[in-house]
Amino acid sequence: MSIGDIFYIIAIVLFSYMTFLIIRGNFQRKFNDDGERIDLVDKDKKKGEAKDGE
């Protein structure tokens, strides 16, 4: 194997690892510890507060 092939394999492995980290980070930001979507939980709480106040 030439040095170019080795560099190409290393680049593919690093690209795959970085992509995995980005996707995992996106899911961690969207879901809380209970597995619920953060944006939907906030909307449900706001609706509940509005109903309680009426």
Q: Where are the domains of the chain?
A: 3-53
Rounded-to-10 torsion of CA 7, 10, 16, 18? -100
Per-residue model confidence as pLDDT tens digits over 21-54:
999 999 888 888 887 888 887 666 666 665 555 5
Residue 2, sorted as left (phi over 0), alpha (psi -120 to 50) or beta, turns out to be beta
Q: How many CB atoms lie within 10 A of CB 31?
A: 15
Model-level pTM? 0.58
Q: What are residue 12's phi and psi, to 5 degrees?
A: -65, -40
Q: What is the pLDDT of residue 11?
A: 98
Per-residue model confidence as pLDDT tens digits over 4-14:
999 999 999 99
Q: What is the pLDDT of residue 31?
A: 86
